[in-house]
Amino acid sequence: MNETIINITVPPGKKKERIDVFLAHQIENASRNKVQNAIKRGYVTIDGEPVKANHIVAPGESITVPLPMPPPPDAVPEDIPVNIVYEDESLIIVNKPPGMVTHPAYGNYSGTLVNALLYHIQSGLADTDDPMRPGIVHRLDKDTSGLMVIAKNDHALHFISKQFSERTIDREYWAIVWGTFPENKGTIEASLGRSKSDRKKMAVREDGKPAITRYEVIEEYDGLSLIKLKLLTGRTHQIRVHLASEHRPVFGDPTYGGRRIVYGGVTPKRKAFIQNLLEHLPRQALHAKTIGFVHPDKKERVFFETDLPDDMVYVVEQLRKQNTS
């Protein structure tokens, strides 16, 4: 079994917190129980010395955590429904539902889009450097819905991947967000990197990678807006972090502050109204609505579009009704 060593330095200004709680927030797929077991076995050290689970972390401490990494199994076909919008000999366009992980990874080897496609596409998918990601050119977050392009052969994989790297892909996202905007159109430009306080999250950082997002308002409601967005870069959680940094988090986003009332009144009636919307939309209201690129065989530009998913449609309809009442 392989082992990965994680080194974490407690950031300056870190508030008092037990090390097991701190590490559970820092390490992906780590629960507090798993962290406590590792600590009991003496695996977790600070400056080379084993610690106890109730140790209070202090700024500047260097924590070392060895993680056993079992060899990944082969991605296996699974009979899972998948919405294929378009397919030819070289590629597939899929409308990924919310709640579906794009490809298998450590701690999540089944139930993914790749597992579903391997079952439905008998001819197979393009090989990649990662055997868990056959055909995958780009990803969508688990709870982001919408269009993805999947490559069925090596030529298509490299041809489309190049367009992503050169930023010539046309992609438009629609989102319901908290707040309204001073202007109908705008650009958010802020570098992004791993959050220093929680490694599972991204954050605006001066030392991060450049990131640019353009937005345009479609409709405005009471304390919320429906907008469309275009990415000029493709950073992890880019749209969600950029909007949150502007104090307009994506509605329903549990990670970046979208599941509490950010704008508008907090009367019992409105709280009940918002709670109803959140119950119908248990994820961030973000959908990859369109995608366009040069086809690897036809050498001409192709364009695909999909409707908003039912959960976002419900929220928009209720917000429109509220606007007119």
Considering the domain boundaries, does residue 304 fall inside one?
Answer: no
Q: Which residue among 32, 67, 102 closes a domain?
A: 67
> Is the separation of the CB atoms in 301 and 294 below 8 Å?
yes
Crossing angle, helix 32-40 and helix 19-26, to 10 degrees? 120
Is 76 among the domain residues? no
Q: 125, 144, 166: which is the final residue of a domain?
A: 166
Do residues 196 and 317 share a domain?
yes
Q: Residue 30: give its domain's CATH number.
A: 3.10.290.10
- The answer to whether residue 299 is domain-embedded is no
Backbone angles phi, psi at 157, to 5 degrees: -60, -50
Give how many domains the chain has, as a whole number: 3
187 and 318 within one domain: yes
DSSP 8-state secondary structure symbol assigned to residue 263: S
Q: What is the CATH number for 112? A: 3.30.2350.10
Whether residue 296 lies inside any domain: the answer is: no
**Does 256 share its domain with 201?**
yes
Domain assignment present for residue 303? The answer is no
The confidence score (pLDDT) of residue 1 equals: 44
Same domain, 89 and 182: no
Residues 135 and 186 in one domain: no
Is residue 236 domain-shared with residue 158, that is, in the same domain?
no
| Angstrom distance (rounded) from CA 273 to CA 257 | 18
Per-residue pLDDT 10s for the chain (325 aa) are 456 778 888 888 888 899 999 988 888 777 788 888 888 888 889 877 889 989 999 988 889 888 765 555 677 889 999 999 999 999 999 999 999 999 877 667 788 999 999 998 877 899 887 778 889 999 999 999 999 999 999 999 999 999 999 999 999 999 999 999 999 999 999 999 988 777 788 999 999 999 999 999 999 999 999 999 999 998 999 999 999 999 999 999 999 999 999 998 889 999 999 999 999 999 999 999 999 999 999 999 999 999 999 999 999 999 999 887 6
Task: Give me the pLDDT at residue 179, please.
Answer: 96
Instruction: Please tell me the chain's helix, strand, coil percentages from 3-state DSSP, rounded to the nearest 5.
Output: 20, 30, 50
Whether residue 130 sits in one domain with residue 268: no
pLDDT of residue 129: 79
Both 15 and 54 in one domain: the answer is: yes
pLDDT of residue 109: 75
Residue 160 shares a structural domain with residue 214: no
Contact 208, 149 (CB under 8 A): no
Q: What's the distance, Cα to Cα, between the start and end of the chain in Å? A: 62
In a domain? residue 75: no
Q: Which residues constitute the domain of residue 160?
A: 84-166
| 210 plus 118 within the same structural domain | no
Do 218 and 159 belong together in one domain? no
- Of the candidates 20, 47, 74, 141, the residue annotated as catalytic is 141
C-alpha neighbours within 13 Å on the C-beta side of residue 195: 19
Answer yes or no: 307 catalytic.
no
**Angle, in degrees to the nearest 10, between helices 268-280 and 310-324:** 160
